[in-house]
Amino acid sequence: MTSLEDMSAEARSGGPLAQRAAARLMTIMTDQPQRLAELLAGSRDWPQPRLVLGITGAPGSGKSTLTDRIATEVRRRRPDSRLGILAVDPSSPFTGGALLGDRVRMMRHATDPQVFIRSLASRGRLGGLALGAKGVVRVMGLIGCETVIVETVGVGQSEVEIAGNADLVLVVLAPGQGDTVQMLKAGLMEAGELFVVNKADRPDAERLHQQLLTALETSYFARHDLSFGADEKMDCNEVLTDPPKVLLCSAAEDQGIAELVDELERLAELNAERWLARREEQAVEEVRQAVIEEVRLRVLHAVGDNNGGPARLRGVLAGSESLDTLVDNVLVELAAPN
Ligand SMILES: Nc1nc2c(ncn2[C@@H]2O[C@H](COP(=O)(O)OP(=O)(O)O)[C@@H](O)[C@H]2O)c(=O)[nH]1
Ligand SMILES: [Mg+2]
C-alpha cells in the first residue's frame, strides 16, 4: 500500500497522477479520519490556504447557489489558483440530492481542473464526520487550494462544529427561511462572523436585513458590555472588531457577489497571521481527535459483535461484572502485546 507521504507527494507534484492521488487522499480522510494525524505529521512545510470559508444556514437559504457564485468570482479573480469546495449536506447538489438545474450549474466547476469538489453525507454516519471534514479541508489546503469553501447545513452539532472550524464563518439567511429568533436558538448568530441576507430579489429581504442588523447590534453590544467602561471589561487577548457585516445578495441573480468577495478578500488580508496561528492550534486539536477516534474504533472492536462482545455486555446486565471492571479489562487487553 502506498503511504500517505508518497500519495501526498504525488498529489502535490502536479504530475499526471496528481488529481487522482488528491482524490484518494480525500477518500482516506473520509473513511479513516484518524489518519489525519499521519497526514499532518508529514506536511509541516506545505502550503496553506489563504481562506477556509465556512458557509452555513438553514436548508433552502441558498448556500449552494452562493457557494457556486463565490467560486465563480474567486476563479475569475485568481485564475491561476486552485479552489476547493466541501459540501456537508445531504441535500446538496454536490451530494446529488438536489434539483437537476442545480446539478447542471455545479457541473461548470466539475469540469474545471483547478476546482476540487467533495461531499460528505452527514446522514447515517456514526462518528468521525467532523474529523473527516477537517481531513478533507487539510488535503485541499495541502494540494494548493488557496480558497476552500465548506458548506454545511446549519443544523446539528457536528455541522455547526465543522463550520466553526473554518477561518471565517458566513451565515446565510433568506426571507421565508425562519426568523432571527430561531437563528439565535440554533446558535448560528454567535457562530457567524459575516452574514448574507440572500434572495434580495424577494420583496421581504430588506425587512429581514433590518431585523438582522438590529439583532446583531444588540447581541454585539451585550457581549462586549459596551454600556459599562468597555476597557476594563474587555479581555486583553480579544481583538475588538466591528459588529459582523450583513450583506444583501441575490445568488440567483448574481447580485452583491463582487461586494461579498471584496469583503472576503479584505478579511483574509487582515487576518492572515491570526488564521495561520489558529490553524496551528487546530492541528494539535485534530491530533487529539484522531487519538480519540482510533481509541474509539479499537474499543468498538473489543466489545463488537464478532468478538464475544455481546456476552460481555450481558455480563454487565446480569451483574456478574461491573461496567468499571469491564472497561478496565478492555483497556488492559487493548494494551497487551498480541
Ligand atoms: N429567489 C431566489 N432564489 C434563490 C436565490 N438563491 C438560491 N435560490 C433558490 O433557493 C433554493 C435553495 O437554494 P440552495 O442553494 O440549494 O440552498 P441551500 O439548501 O441553502 O444550499 C433553490 O431553488 C435556489 O434556486 C436567490 O438569490 N433568489
Ligand atoms: Mg446546499
Domains and CATH numbers, the chain: 45-271 (3.40.50.300), 303-335 (no CATH)
According to the model, what pLDDT value does residue 36 have? Answer: 93
Ligand 1 atom closest to Cα of residue 198: 27
DSSP 8-state symbol, 196 = E
| Residue 62, ligand 1, Cβ within 6 A | yes
Nearest ligand to the CA of 88 is 2
- Cβ of residue 201 lying under 6 Å from some atom of ligand 1: yes
**CA of 61: how far to CAs of 156, 266, 337, in Å?**
16, 25, 53
Residue 137 alpha carbon to ligand 1 centre in Å: 25
What sign does the dihedral 311-315-318-324 (CA atoms) show? negative
pLDDT of residue 131: 87
CA of 236 relative to ligand 1 center, distance in Å? 41
CA of 2 to the centre of ligand 2 (A): 34
Question: 192 with 161: CB under 8 angstroms?
Answer: no
What's the 61 CA to ligand 1 centre distance in angstroms? 6
Q: How many CB atoms lie within 10 A of CB 16?
A: 8
Nearest CA to ligand 1 atom 8: 62
Please tell me the distance between residue 25's alpha carbon and the centre of ligand 2 in angstroms.
24
User: CA dihedral in degrees (109, 93, 283, 158; nearest 10)?
Assistant: 170
Q: Give one word for 117, left, alpha or beta, with left for phi > 0 and alpha for psi -120 to 50.
A: beta
Ligand 1 site, residue 202, Cβ cutoff 6 A: yes
Give yes or no for a contact between 296 and 83, defined as CB atoms under 8 angstroms apart. Answer: no
To test the pocket of ligand 1, the residue of 64, 65, 69, 159 to mutate (highest count of ligand atoms within 8 Å of its CB) is: 65
Q: For ligand 1, what atom is nearest to the CA of residue 253?
A: 27
The CA 151 to ligand 2 mean position distance, Å, reads 7
CA 65 to ligand 1 centroid distance, Å: 6
Ligand 1 atom nearest to CA at 99: 23
Question: pLDDT at position 157, please?
Answer: 64
Q: Please tell me the number of the ligand nearest to residue 65's CA.
A: 1
- How would you classify the pairing of strands 115-120 and 82-88? parallel
d(CA 2, CA 8): 10
Nearest CA to ligand 1 atom 4: 252
Separation CA 65–CA 43 (nearest Å): 33
CB of residue 63 inside a 6 A radius of ligand 1: yes
For residue 92, the ligand 1 atom closest to its alpha carbon is 21
Predicted confidence at residue 187, as pLDDT, reads 66
- Look at residue 160 in the predicted model and tell me its pLDDT: 67
pLDDT of residue 236: 47
d(CA 31, CA 34): 9
Calculate the CA dihedral of residues 103, 108, 113, 119 and round it to 10 degrees. Answer: -20
Asked whether 116 and 180 are in contact (CB, 8 A), the reply is no
Question: For 338, which DSSP code?
Answer: -
The CA–CA distances, whole Å, from 199 to 104, 216, 263, 304 equal 20, 20, 19, 49
Residue 13 cell numbers, joined: 507534484
Please identify every stretch of the chain with a pLDDT value under 70, giving residue numbers as ranges. 1, 89-108, 122-128, 154-160, 178-188, 223-242, 338
Can you give the pLDDT at residue 276? 93
Query: CA-CA distance, 147 to 267, in Å (whole number)?
Result: 13
Which protein residue's CA is at the shortest distance from atom 26 of ligand 1?
199
Give the model's pLDDT for residue 338: 66
Q: With a 6 A CB cut-off, is 59 part of the ligand 1 pocket? A: yes
- Please list the alpha-helical segments (H only) found in the chain: 4-13, 18-31, 36-41, 63-77, 100-110, 129-142, 157-164, 180-186, 188-191, 205-224, 230-233, 257-302, 309-318, 323-335
**Ligand 2 centre and the CA of 94: distance in Å?**
8
Residue closest by Cα to atom 7 of ligand 1: 62
- In short, whether 158's Cβ falls inside 6 Å of ligand 1 is no
Measure the CA–CA gap between 127 and 297, rounded to whole angstroms: 10
pLDDT of the residue at 168: 93
